[in-house]
Amino acid sequence: MLPPFRSEIRNSPNQQTIKIYLSDESLDDQIKIHLQNFTEIDSIEINETIEQNRADESLTVFIKDSVDINRIKASIDSSLWWYFERDMVD
């Protein structure tokens, strides 16, 4: 069974970003809304992915400059695990 998501820190010359790949891309909009509660996030985009061995879509999460990207990634991952665990119980 595939995990419900995978996240990666991406190096960007302009802004810190985290890519999130969902196993079920129909949840992109719901997850985007869920993540908008984080004050450390500047913006979130849903993008088509053209890389090999990747999902067709991904969420690009743009992090504010003063935020520790490793800490916010851990917080986002924890929140997403909670989201998916809650969804599986319902």
User: Which residue ranges form the domains of the chain, and what is each CATH number?
Assistant: 5-89 (3.30.70.100)
Question: pLDDT band for position 86 (50/70/90)?
Answer: confident
Backbone angles phi, psi at 29, to 5 degrees: -65, -40
pLDDT at 35: 97
Per-residue pLDDT band for 51 (boundaries 50, 70, 90) equals low
Residue environment code for 20-51, b if the CB has 16+ CB neighbours within 10 A, otherwise e: bbbeebebbeebbebbeebebbeebeeeeeee
Model confidence pLDDT, tens digit, residues 61-85: 999 999 999 999 999 999 999 999 8
Nearest-angstrom CA–CA distance, 17 and 62 = 5
Q: Which DSSP state fits 13?
A: S
pLDDT digits (tens, 9 = 90+) for 9-47: 998 788 899 999 998 989 999 999 999 999 999 999 998
More confident residue, 60 or 1: 60
Query: Which pLDDT value is given to residue 89?
Result: 54
Residue written as token pair 């820190």: 9
Burial tier of 63 (Cβ tally within 10 Å: 0-12, 13-18, 19+): buried
pLDDT at 48: 84
Do 83 and 34 meet the contact criterion of CB atoms below 8 Å apart?
Answer: yes
